[in-house]
Chain A
């Protein structure tokens, strides 16, 4: 063991958690766009981890249709490369159990009995919600629980509404109108998911907004606005 034999310095965890609507109405092009978007987001998260000595992004994916189900990272949050390596395309089928998703998230957003335990600590998580419809269960009760969760309170909360989504519900979730975006076009949906997920993950994992309160959603709202032009280019066009 010599002076140069240092190990990777301990990083804080930056959880990036996707809550994805996989109800029947998402079938076809929209769920295809979601799958394609997630697949293109993961390499970006891997590259952020490669160069960030402060925080390490870890991922979980929760889908909701008949019920809520952790597809990735439900037990322990996963590295983006682990999700990428085991990725299976999501299917769309069933109603929109958003309330169940909120309850499932609330259970896991905990240091003592959830997936927020990390020896070196965590920074505020990114909570990304996507929906294309009206919740079909009691979302209010689930959201009420979440709103008492301290991790939720400090989280970066962002949402994408597609088609017939009830964006008022999404805004209730983010508590900030500026971090909810909407589109009706599946090609645009992919770009929008990628842009919002990547930008909010970058801001959350780099930290340093030095705001006086502990709500990190505001800082991301500014970033989404400042970098909005990135959306002008199509993700599929040749570079």
Chain B
């Protein structure tokens, strides 16, 4: 085994391109190595990850793998991707440089430990969307993650922006890094040893991460799986051979214990039916035991977009809540019932309903006005309320065409407000049409 040699302050380290960095500080230490703060000769600062080389079965191969990933490049800005390797010296420790984390990002673990919280519900849903979009970019580039878990994410609590670090084990399709991942986040077939990690197992891990983010608890850890001693044998059972969703539709034996698993039973009720259904599908026995029916990133994007556009303030207590489009919703904060006057009904996307409740303050995004857009951040319209009527203000890039049930056609320019009348059809541009449906 090659001996691990830590770096010292002021030590100069040669990079693969022949330039040097100087070690200035230690940023942290994890299971895989130590991360130092370094200064390039040009003056700019970087982080340098320095591997516990003894863990690597084949250091040379791993070095080559990192080199390939650097060449192919980062899937998106969300990834804190390796920038430069240190020079390869046979029999010595090596590492790579990357950008230093901005200070306003907090580790996902701090959110799970309730030490950091989101500024508002929108920021939390945006974090879920940002994670989903990042994984879409990763998979589109032909990579898969393999050891996706909570430790990979840092989140800005103010706006839900996400950074993904420790991308060392990301590999191209069909390759295998030899890393299995963290049991709580691994797909059951990987825990069972039936399969190596791939795109489909990444998707399982993504669903776990989204559930942890939104519900604040693990989807498979309920009353039945609450063993006094979590040994490797039980770990295999809980996450591999006998996994059971805590909100399984048919089998309640692993329901959360209200005194121990406090978040899950409370938070679950806050979410609208379509989010519950998405998790029930993701953690169905079919998904857990046969790897089937898992949601693609595209599915999550549509579901989370619908969730984002359902955020309203309860008119009774003022707390933020998710409002169903077509049925009454009980505000979980004050237990009073809230119902939208109606909703905008768009054409489904990838077999997912696209609806937006008509309720004061609800926002539409570029996603809604352009069916080719996945932009969930740029606001395109907002629902306004006056006594006796609702309006939709056009903040989008396009002029809208409106057709009343009587066949009258007129336009609403950017900046104008359209009064929402029953059964009217709104063409937001590009034949992207929604109909105003009034609730009974």
Q: Is the CB of B5 within 8 A of A229?
A: yes
Given A120-B226, A225-B54: A232 and B6 within 8 A (CB)? yes
Instruction: Pick from B113, B124, B181, B319 the residue with the most CB of A within 10 Å.
Output: B113
Chain A residues in 8 Å Cβ range of B266:
1
A206 proximal to B (CB < 8 A): yes
Query: Is A94 positioned at the interface, with any CB of B under 8 Å from its CB?
Result: no
A10 near B231 with CB under 8 A, answer no
Query: A228 is contacted by which of B54, B118, B229 (Cβ under 8 Å)?
Result: B54
Query: Which residues from B are CB-within-8-Å of A214?
Result: 231-233
Q: In the complex where A10-B262, A226-B52, A229-B3 touch, is A121 in contact with B226 (Cβ < 8 A)?
A: yes
The answer to whether A51 touches B110, judged by C-beta atoms less than 8 angstroms apart, is: yes
A228 touches B183 (CB 8 A): no
The residue from B110, B235, B263 contacting A7, defined by CB atoms under 8 A apart = B263
Q: How far is the CA of A208 from the CA of B31 in the complex (A)?
A: 11
Q: How large is the interface on A (under 10, 10 to 19, 20 to 34, 35 or more residues)?
A: 35 or more
CA distance A172 to B232 in the complex (A): 23
Interfacial chain B residues near A117, Cβ < 8 Å = 228
CB of B229 within 8 A of CB of A150, answer yes
Whether B9 contacts A239 by the Cβ 8 Å rule is: yes
Given the interface pairs A9-B216, A120-B226, A230-B6, the reply to whether A3 lies near B110 with Cβ below 8 Å is: no
B 46-66 to A, binary, CB cutoff 8 A, 1 in contact else 0: 000000111100000000000
Is the Cβ of B228 less than 8 Å from the Cβ of A121? yes
A111 to chain B minimum Cβ distance, whole angstroms, is 5
Measured between C-beta atoms, what is the minimum distance from A102 to chain B in Å? 20
Q: Contact at B230–A121, with CB atoms within 8 Å?
A: yes
Select A53's contact among B5, B113, B262, beta carbons within 8 Å. B113
Which B204-227 residues sit within 8 Å CB-CB of chain A? 212, 216-218, 226-227
Shortest distance between the CB of A55 and any CB in chain B (Å): 9
Tell me the chain A residues, 115-151 only, with Cβ under 8 Å from chain B. Answer: 116-124, 150-151
- List, in ascending order, chain B residues with CB within 8 A of A124's CB: 229, 231
* Interface of A: prevailing SS: loop
Q: Is A12 an interface residue (CB 8 A)?
A: yes
CA distance A3 to B119 in the complex (A): 12
Q: How far is the CA of A99 from the CA of B348 in the complex (A)?
A: 71
Q: Are A226 and B184 in contact (CB under 8 A)?
A: no
Closest to B233 in A: A214
Interface size on B, residues (CB 8 A): 63
How far does the alpha carbon of A226 sit from the alpha carbon of B54 in the complex, in Å? 4
Chain A: minimal CB distance from B144 (Å) = 19
- Are A154 and B260 in contact (CB-based, < 8 A)? no
Question: Which A residues touch B267, using CB under 8 A?
Answer: 3, 6
Query: Which of chain A's residues have a CB closer than 8 A to the CB of B227?
Result: 121
Residue in B8, B233, B260 whose beta carbon sits within 8 Å of that of A233 in the complex: B8
For A50, what are the chain B residues with a Cβ–Cβ distance below 8 Å? 110, 113, 115
Does any Cβ of B come within 8 Å of A88's Cβ? no
Assuming the contacts A2-B319, A226-B52, asked whether A213 and B1 have C-beta atoms less than 8 A apart, the reply is no
| Chain A 103-122 near chain B by CB (<8 Å), digits 1 or 0 | 00000000100001111111
CA distance A233 to B311 in the complex (A): 53
Given A7-B262, A239-B26, A53:B232 Cβ within 8 A: no
Q: Give Cα A206–Cα B54 distance, bound, in whole angstroms.
A: 18
Known interface pairs A7-B262, A206-B31, A228-B54; A121-B4 also in contact (CB < 8 Å): no
Instruction: Assess the B229–A122 pair: CB atoms within 8 A.
Output: yes
Query: Contact mask A202-227 → B, CB, 8 Å, 1/0?
Result: 11001111111110100000110111
Contact B183 A208 (CB under 8 A): yes
Q: B55 contacts which chain A residues (CB < 8 A)?
A: 222, 226
Cα–Cα, bound, A222→B57 (Å): 12
- Judged by a CB distance under 8 angstroms, whether A52 is at the interface is yes
A10 to B112, CA, bound (A): 10
Contacts of B120 in A (CB 8 A): 4
Contact check, B113 vs A4: say whether CB atoms are below 8 A apart: no
Q: Is the CB of B113 within 8 A of A212?
A: no
In the complex, chain A residues whose CB is within 8 Å of the CB of B108: 53
Q: Assess whether B320 is interfacial by the CB under 8 Å rule.
A: yes
CB pair A3–B109 under 8 Å, yes or no, is no
A223-B321 Cα distance, complex, nearest whole Å? 47
Say if the beta carbon of A8 comes within 8 Å of chain B: yes
CB–CB A213/B232 < 8 A: yes
**Chain B residues with CB under 8 A of A12:** 230
B376 interfacial contact with A, CB 8 Å: no
CA of A129 to CA of B4, assembled, Å: 25
Residues of B within 8 A of A211 (CB): 232
> A214–B227 Cα gap in the complex (Å)?
15
Report the minimal beta-carbon distance from A4 to chain B, rounded to whole angstroms.
6
Of A116, A123, A209, A225, the residue contacting B1 (CB under 8 A) is A225
Tell me if B332 counts as interface (CB < 8 A to partner A). yes
Q: Is B191 close to A, CB under 8 A?
A: yes
On whether A51 and B107 interact (CB within 8 A), knowing A10-B260, A213-B232, A239-B9, the answer reads: yes
**Contact yes or no, B118 A4, CB < 8 A:** yes
Closest to B216 in A: A6
Contact B182 A208 (CB under 8 A): yes
Across the interface, name the chain B residue whose C-beta is closest to A237.
B8
The answer to the question of A67 belonging to the interface, with a C-beta cut-off of 8 Å to chain B, is: no
Q: A188 at interface (Cβ–Cβ under 8 A)?
A: no
Whether B333 and A1, one on each chain, are in contact in the complex, defined by CB atoms closer than 8 angstroms, is: yes
CA distance A53 to B216 in the complex (A): 11
In the bound complex, how far is the Cα of B31 from the Cα of A222, in angstroms? Answer: 12
Report B-chain residues with C-beta under 8 Å of the C-beta of A150.
229
B-contact 0/1 string along A1-41, CB 8 Å cutoff: 11110111110100000000000000000000000000000
A-B contact pairs, 14 of them (CB 8 A): A1-B319, A2-B121, A3-B121, A3-B320, A6-B267, A10-B262, A50-B115, A53-B108, A154-B231, A206-B31, A210-B183, A210-B232, A226-B52, A227-B52
Besides A121-B227, A122-B228, A228-B54, 15 more A-B contacts (Cβ < 8 Å) are A1-B333, A2-B333, A3-B322, A7-B262, A8-B115, A9-B114, A53-B109, A119-B259, A121-B229, A203-B31, A225-B54, A226-B4, A227-B4, A227-B52, A233-B6
In the complex, the 10 A-B pairs of residues with the closest C-beta atoms, listed nearest first: A226-B54, A229-B4, A6-B216, A53-B112, A8-B114, A53-B109, A2-B319, A226-B52, A226-B55, A214-B231
